[in-house]
Amino acid sequence: MDTRDSPEQAELRRGARRLAAELGPATVAELDDEARALRLAGAVRDAGWLELRDADGSSGGPLASGVDTTILADGLAGAVADVAFAGPTLAADLARRAGAARDDRAGVAYGPDLLGVAVVEETVTTERFEVVDLPVDGSAQAFVLVRKDDGYRLAAVAVDDPEPGGRRATDLTRTTGSVRPGAAVVEIPEQRGLTEDDLTAWAALGLALTSADLVGVMRGVLDLSVAYATDRKQYGVPVGSFQAVQHLLAEARCLLEGSISATLYAGWAVDELAPDEARAAGRVAKAYGARAARTVCETAVQVHGGIGNTWECMVHVFLRRALLSTEWFGDDGAQLERLARERLGVPMLGVPMLGVPGVTDGLP
């Protein structure tokens, strides 16, 4: 038992942080700098970071571990890097589990509540689906699942969006798209399909990646807030010298540390534990991290005072990113509900578990 980074993992962590700091948006205005965003996307692609969950030719397993992907998610989110990472990684992982060929222009379509991959019964969808974290050069299509008697088949639908390259709704650093009701569903050829276990393990990766993203957001926004509290003077002294402010930031640091510990395990569990255990580890990390991230980001807004409530202040970019990562694969309430059901054997009658019919989060 040794939870420390291996030398390779430590190098990956440094690399992700360095790249995000160098090419991520330093100011809100820089979010509109398309040349910078393209350089960032190119650097992430050239580093091979979007292929980590592709099949290793010999074993069929992924090229890199769940831990490696969470290290990158954390590193990129720390500087609110506006580059697609978790979305394409989850698409690649789903395709690998189905034994399908790689498609680097594909995203994953989720139900309107973002709890899990969209499932269709027929060849035509009747719901509107959402695609989160589209590849930056525009996703032509997104994966959905077609339910069969013996499991699921991977299929593709066209992403239909009013704006080229998707839209940025709440989160200003990741693009979302939508799939229109009635879109044609085309089964991917030459695949072995997916089982419930495959989907459970895939959901574990989704929970680990979104938890790691929240860790990065907390890390980045806390650094900003400590710097601001040190710099900003009132009554002739830095506001960070007041205990009332210090205690808020100290609590935030603790929440960050607890989230790191839970998320390390969730990332490791993806490839090392049975699917249901890995998903349970992901639920713990997500439930803790979502509550923590909300508190840490709200603390950051407060510590920045009036400026923290303006569009020009970077803090809301972190908060917005945390909100999307929280909802993606389910917020803390959703995780607690499921943990209660899974651990206590409590039937959740009367509690909407899946949000809408035809959407699964990998639960039978």
Partner 1 sequence: MDFRDSPEEAEFRSRLRSWLADHNPGLPASSTDDEYWARQAEWHTALYDAGFFGLSWPTRFGGHDLPSVFDVILDDELAAAGAPPRPSLGYLVQGITTHGSDAIQERFLPGLISGQERWCQGFSEPDAGSDLASLRTTATRDGGEYVVDGHKVWTSYSDVADWCFLLARTDPGVAKHKGLSAFALPMDQPGVEQRPLRMINGVTNEFGQVVFDGARVAAENMIGEPGEGWRVAMTIVSHEREPGELGYVARYAKSVKEMERAVGADPGAFRPDQRAQVAWAHVQTEMLRLHVRRRLSERLDGVEHGPGGSIDKLLMTWVEQSVGAAALSVSGARAVLDPDDVALKTYLYSRAQSVMGGTSQIQKNIIATRILGLPTE
Q: Applying CB under 8 A, which residues contact partner 1?
A: 1-6, 9, 67, 226, 229-230, 237-238, 240-243, 245-247, 249-251, 253-254, 257-262, 264-265, 268-269, 272, 283-284, 287-288, 333, 335-337, 339-340, 343-347, 351
In this complex, which beta carbon is closest to partner 1, that of residue 100 or of residue 214?
Answer: 214
Do β-strands 176-179 and 129-132 pair in parallel, antiparallel, or remain unpaired? Answer: antiparallel
DSSP string, 62-91: BSS-HHHHHHHHHHHHTTT--S--HHHHHH
Question: In DSSP terms, which residues pair with 155 in a beta bridge?
Answer: 144, 187
- Distance (Å, whole) CA 57 – CA 142: 24
**Shortest Cβ distance from residue 121 to partner 1 (Å)?**
30
In the complex, the smallest distance separating the C-beta of residue 96 from partner 1, rounded to whole angstroms, is 22
Query: Judged by CB, which is closer to partner 1: 184, or 348?
Result: 348
Nearer to partner 1, 91 or 281 (CB): 281
* Farthest CA pair distance, the chain: 71
Q: How far apart are CA 343 and CA 348, in angstroms?
A: 12
Q: Give 131 or 264: the residue with its C-beta nearer to partner 1.
A: 264
* Alpha carbon distance 200, 150 (integer Å): 16
3-class SS of residue 348: coil
Least distance to partner 1, CB of residue 29, Å: 28
Q: How far apart, in Å, are the Cα atoms of 190 and each of 51, 66, 93, 96? A: 20, 26, 16, 12
| Cβ at position 167, least distance to partner 1 in Å | 33
Strand 233-234 with 237-238, pairing? antiparallel
DSSP-derived letter for residue 176 is E
CB of 334 to partner 1, least distance (A): 11
Instruction: Residue 126: count other Cβ atoms within 10 Å of its Cβ.
Output: 11
Min separation Cβ 350 and partner 1, Å: 9
Closer CB to partner 1, 35 or 237, in the complex: 237
Query: Running DSSP on this structure, what letter comes out for residue 51?
Result: G
Please identify, using beta-carbon distances, which residue of 12 and 117 lies nearer to partner 1. Answer: 12
Pair 49, 190: CB distance under 8 Å: no
Give the nearest distance from C-beta 298 to partner 1 in angstroms: 17
In terms of CB distance, is 32 or 223 closer to partner 1?
223
